[in-house]
Amino acid sequence: MFQLPRYFTIEPVQLSIKEKAIASLACLTAILLTGLLTQTYAVEQTSVLVASMGASAVILFTIPGSPLAQPWPFVGGQMLSALIGVLCAFYIRDVPLAAALAAGLAVLMMLILRCLHPPGAATALAPVLNAEQTPMPDLDFLLNPVGINVLIMLMLTWLINRLILRRDYPVRIAPPQPPRHINKTEGNWVGVSQADVEQATRDFDHFLDIGADDLLRIFTQLQLLLLQKNLGSIRCEQLMQRDIVTVEYATEVEDAWMLMQQHHLKALPVLDRARHVIGIVTQYDFLKNLKLTPYQSFQDKWLAFIKSTPTVSTDKPEAIGHIMTRKVKTLPAQAHIAELIPLVINEGHHHVPIVDENGHFVGMVFQSRLLSALFNHCTFAPIKHD
């Protein structure tokens, strides 16, 4: 009994003051615009807003990454619940019984169709509770105001979250891509794959207001934080090699290859004139553009590819910018070396460019240097005795 007050002091959503203000303003704006636009297109003597839209706004703008806030749960949950509510109000005259069936059936169908959206249960109650004060509800209720409200609210949610607040909405759920040079069965570097998380959530057998991909990201971030504590304050700038040979977009393919051979390099960062990293070229980039076919001489094909074309017209890449990899992962010089591990192990990067606070290239961390640092830490770390 004396522990009861502590259950009322838990903050349900951990948001900063700025995020709380943004979420509140987004809800206000969405409800206002939904009401005004619905009023423009609504038929006379109909409600402008369904009350449950207020609850939907809380979910859509406070926890936009939640499974409850995605487009299908929102649209399906609201429309399906409205249909169930209309049918219960039409066929069942007893209000308490109709209300109970409407709410219960709405929840059941939302769970079956995987469109659970809690405000939908309130939408199911609306036609039942209003049956005595208004004319008998019919299927027009689905279109006006529920359908119009849902359509406008969905468009506003996408516009505000994605274009104004720069949030990832709707959340993209893509199948995990196997990392390069890693066996698909090995999972990721923390030893837990998305399939493992999905299986664990199924075994839990309770609804979790968070997706498996978010859980995996949280777990990975936790592993990184623990690794940072164990490794101490080792930064990328302490590990990187500074005197790195670089090339520009217009550097000829032959010249870049000669640089790699002279300096025994496997990769060259490609920089613009402001020393921003715009790409990286590796030995693989040269080979994949060779386009070697069976029964062709490798030497003849290679010489034809690597040599600069003396004429104006050409049918092969001439500048390094034509063959480089454009999507390059970089890290700040002040980043902890633990941030290198997912890039090296999960994504197969053997060379990670390092930039300063202005985004200028300052060095490169090689996989061998990272392994050496981890080995030295494990070797010379103090041994704790029980």
**Is the residue at 189 inside a domain?**
no
Residue 111: domain span: 13-164
**Is the residue at 135 inside a domain?**
yes
How far is the C-alpha of 339 from the C-alpha of 380, rounded, in Å?
A: 22
**Is the residue at 283 inside a domain?**
yes
**Is the residue at 218 inside a domain?**
no
In sequence order, what are the beta bridge partners of 319?
252
Q: In which order are the strands placed within the sheet that holds 351-355?
A: 331-332, 351-355, 361-366
Over its C-alpha atoms, the chain yields an Rg (Å, rounded) of 29
Predicted pLDDT of residue 181: 46
Distances (CA, A) of 359 to 279, 333, 362: 13, 10, 9
Domain termination residue (choose one: 141, 164, 187): 164
3-state secondary structure of 363: strand
How far is the C-alpha of 271 from the C-alpha of 277, rounded, in Å?
A: 5
Same domain (yes/no): 147, 247? no
pTM for the structure as a whole: 0.60
Predicted pLDDT of residue 296: 63
> How many separate domains does the chain show?
2
Predicted pLDDT of residue 349: 86
One digit per residue, the tens of pLDDT, for the chain of length 386 reads 556 666 666 666 677 888 889 999 999 999 999 999 988 877 666 788 999 999 999 999 998 988 899 999 999 999 999 999 999 999 998 999 999 999 999 999 999 999 999 999 999 999 999 877 766 667 888 988 999 999 999 999 999 998 888 888 898 655 544 444 444 434 455 567 777 777 777 776 666 667 677 777 788 788 778 877 877 788 999 999 999 999 999 999 989 999 999 998 899 999 999 999 999 999 888 888 777 666 667 777 777 778 877 776 777 788 899 999 998 999 999 999 888 888 887 788 888 999 999 999 999 999 888 888 888 877 765 544 44
**Is the residue at 257 inside a domain?**
yes
**Is the residue at 202 inside a domain?**
no
Contact of 47 with 129, CB cutoff 8 Å? no
Predicted pLDDT of residue 381: 58
**Is the residue at 386 inside a domain?**
no
How far is the C-alpha of 232 from the C-alpha of 378, rounded, in Å?
A: 12
Contact of 378 with 371, CB cutoff 8 Å? no
3-state secondary structure of 33: helix
Same domain (yes/no): 160, 241? no
| Residue 325, phi then psi, degrees to nearest 5 | -85, 120
Same domain (yes/no): 33, 152? yes
Domain termination residue (choose one: 164, 190, 218): 164
Same domain (yes/no): 247, 372? yes
Domain termination residue (choose one: 146, 164, 182): 164
Handedness of CA 215, 216, 222, 226 (dihedral sign): positive
**Is the residue at 214 inside a domain?**
no
Same domain (yes/no): 20, 110? yes
Residue at token pair 């009322």: 8
Q: CATH code at 367?
A: 3.10.580.10
Predicted pLDDT of residue 189: 52
